[in-house]
Structure 1
Amino acid sequence: MSNFLSHGRIMGGVVSTPDLDAALTDYHDCLGLDIVEQGTIDADLAASWGCPKSGGARFATLQPQSGAPCFIRLVEAPLPDDFKPTRSYGWAAFELTVQDVFGWPGRLRESGFDIVGPPKELEGLPYFIPMQVTGRGREMIYLNEVAENTPTSDLPKAASLTDHIFIVVLAAPDREASLRWFEQALKLEISSSYTLSYSMINNAFGLGDDYRTTITMVQKGRLPIVEVDDYPAEATARPGDPAMLPAGNAMIALAVDDLDALDVPFIAPPVRRDGPLYGGRRTATVRGLAGERIELIEIG
Structure 2
Amino acid sequence: MSGGYLTHGRIAGGVVSTPDLDAALADYQGCLGLVPVERGTIDADLAASWGCPKSAGARFATLQPQSGAHCFIRLVEAPLPKDFRPTRSYGWAAYEFTVQDVFGWPDRLSGSGFDIVGPPKALEGLPYFIPMQVTGRGREMLYLNEVAEDTPTSDLPKARSLTDHIFIVILATPDREASLAWFERALKLDISSSYTLAYSMINKAFGLDADYRTTITMVQKGRLPIVEVDDYPAAATARPGDPEMLPPGNAMITLAVDDLDALDAPFIAPPVRREGALYGGRRTATVRGVAGELIELIEIGG
Pick the TM interval, shorter chain.
over 0.9
How far off is 1:174 after superposition?
A: 0.2
Distance 2:36 2:265 in 1: 33
Q: Which residue of 2 aligns with 1:146?
A: 147
The 5 Å alignment of 1:43-122 reads 43-122=44-123
Q: Which residue of 2 aligns with 1:279?
A: 280
Runs of 4+ in 1 over 3 A off after TM superposition: none
Distance 1:57 1:87 in 2: 26
Q: Which residue of 1 aligns with 2:199?
A: 198
Secondary structure of the residue aligned to 2:27 is helix
TM-score normalized by structure 2?
Answer: 0.99
Backbone CA RMSD of aligned residues: 0.4
Secondary structure of the residue aligned to 1:285 is strand
Q: Which residue of 1 aligns with 2:9?
A: 8
Q: Which residue of 2 aligns with 1:232?
A: 233
Superimposed CA distance per residue, residues 106-134 of structure 1 (whole angstroms, 9 cap, x where no aligned partner): 00000000000000001110000000000
One-letter code aligned to 1:270: P
TM-score normalized by structure 1?
Answer: 1.00
How far off is 1:3 after superposition?
A: 1.5
Secondary structure of the residue aligned to 1:3 is helix
Distance 1:141 1:114 in 2: 10
User: How many residues of Structure 1 are paired with residues of Structure 2 in the alignment?
Assistant: 300
Distance 1:206 1:263 in 2: 38
Distance 2:100 2:58 in 1: 33
How far off is 1:263 after superposition?
A: 1.4
Q: Which residue of 1 aligns with 2:157?
A: 156
Distance 1:296 1:244 in 2: 19
Distance 1:264 1:21 in 2: 36
The 5 Å alignment of 1:176-255 reads 176-255=177-256
Q: Which residue of 2 aligns with 1:40?
A: 41
One-letter code aligned to 1:168: V
Secondary structure of the residue aligned to 1:66 is coil
How far off is 1:160 after superposition?
A: 0.3
Distance 2:55 2:143 in 1: 26
Query: What residue ranges of structure 1 are gaps of 5+ in the alignment?
Result: none
